[in-house]
A = this chain, B = another copy of it.
Amino acid sequence: MPDSTTITADEFCRFAISVFQCAGLPAEQAQQAVAPLVWASLRGVDTHGIRNFKPYYVDGLIAGRIASTAACEIEYETPLSARANGADGLGLSAAGWGMRLAIDKAETSGIGLISMRNSNHLGAAGYFSQLAVEQDMIGLCLSGHLYGEGNATGMPPVFGLQPMFGTNPLSVAIPCGDEPTYVLDMSTSVVPVNRVEMMQEQGQSIPLGWCLDAAGRPTSDPGQAAIFLPLGGTRELGAHKGFGLAMLVEVLTALLSNGWAPATDSTPADAPGVYHQERIAHFFGAIRIDLFRAAGEFRQAMDAMIGSLHRAQPAPGHERIFVPGEIEHDTQRIRSRQGIPLSHKEVQDLRWLSKRYDLPLTFSHS
């Protein structure tokens, strides 16, 4: 009965850490890499959780597309900032390293901003930004990719049809008091690529307004989706804003880190050559609340703002208002008790890995 199969967070972590180690990852990195996946799955962000474990990460390590023994390096730093190199490794663990560096710098200096090149898909950006919240900091995590000559899928510029960007996500986490942490975690396109992939796996159609096919026609067939519209959808409804935000993400991730760089080092300075960006780049930020005011007072003001929004009149058909991170927080409480529901494909993937590496794996059935 694959439809009602679940796995506990603990069991997934134990299993996935072993799998990552079998795929060549050092123990500490394996542990770091599993944390954002189980966080996403517990919170109901199924597009960025267990679903991607095999196809995005383990398969990448096996095929050598992701370097398994990569160690992140600082290429330049100040007390407030660093430019780092992800060394072609797993984004899931590189992002943990980068975010901790941002938090460490903020602890010492008030603010820490890290721009990292040469990395790979990092999972749910919100996981990394929320790491700062416990330290009474605002956390930021962005991830960007510019395809210099275009790509088969991705986000086009406004007025354009050629996919030029990834769906360049940005996330911000802000400490609250009794209310759940504010976590905004959004692609700068209408939807991220993996949302459409997941709906295709589930045999669902996608709403018009998310994507165009390769010829630029609106499509509700996830299999035909190639052009991921910028947030706003059309120029009239604000697509220039989604596109502008995607460029901003690109600047902080790939341009500050030198991930978007001339193809050769020998290009003379006055004749910039062809630039390209081979891998995904990231940006991590941590800003101490007490640069402005006492964190306790600030957390109370956050609760009061959320309380005020909760009292706003809901639209017909809706019982209440939710703020960013709240639905996910509720789901996390349920799934921590009841386990993480798995799709047929997720069960298949995990079984395949269990067999390949001869590792025990226990599902639950609800």
A interface residues with partner B (beta carbon < 8 Å): 76, 78, 80-81, 83, 109-111, 113, 115, 138, 146, 148-150, 156-162, 164, 172, 174, 182, 184, 186, 190-191, 207, 209-210, 216, 231-233, 236-238, 240-245, 247-248, 250-251, 255-258, 260-262, 269, 272, 275, 287, 289, 291-293, 297-298, 300-305, 308-309, 311-316, 318, 320-324
Contacts and interface: CB of A to CB of B under 8 A. Distances in A.
A349 B157 CA distance: 39
Contacts of A81: 110, 291-292
A116 to B, nearest CB: 11
Nearest to A82: B292
B184 A308 contact: no
Contact of A272 (B157, B207, B292, B303): B303
B216 A159 contact: no
B232 A207 contact: no
A204 to B, nearest CB: 13
A233 B321 CA distance: 16
A272 B258 CA distance: 47
Given A184-B244, A232-B232, A251-B302, A293 B237 contact: no
Given A247-B305, A251-B302, 13 more contacts: A76-B292, A157-B309, A157-B312, A158-B322, A161-B312, A174-B251, A207-B237, A231-B231, A232-B232, A233-B237, A251-B305, A257-B292, A275-B308
24 contacts: A80-B291, A83-B293, A113-B287, A115-B292, A138-B251, A150-B312, A157-B321, A158-B322, A159-B321, A160-B314, A174-B248, A182-B251, A184-B241, A184-B244, A186-B238, A186-B240, A186-B241, A207-B237, A243-B324, A247-B305, A247-B324, A251-B305, A255-B305, A269-B300
Q: Interface centre among A113, A161, A243, A308, by most B CB within 10 Å? A: A308
A292 B184 contact: no
A260 B301 contact: yes
Contacts of A255: 298, 301-302, 305
A302 B248 CA distance: 11
Nearest to A210: B237
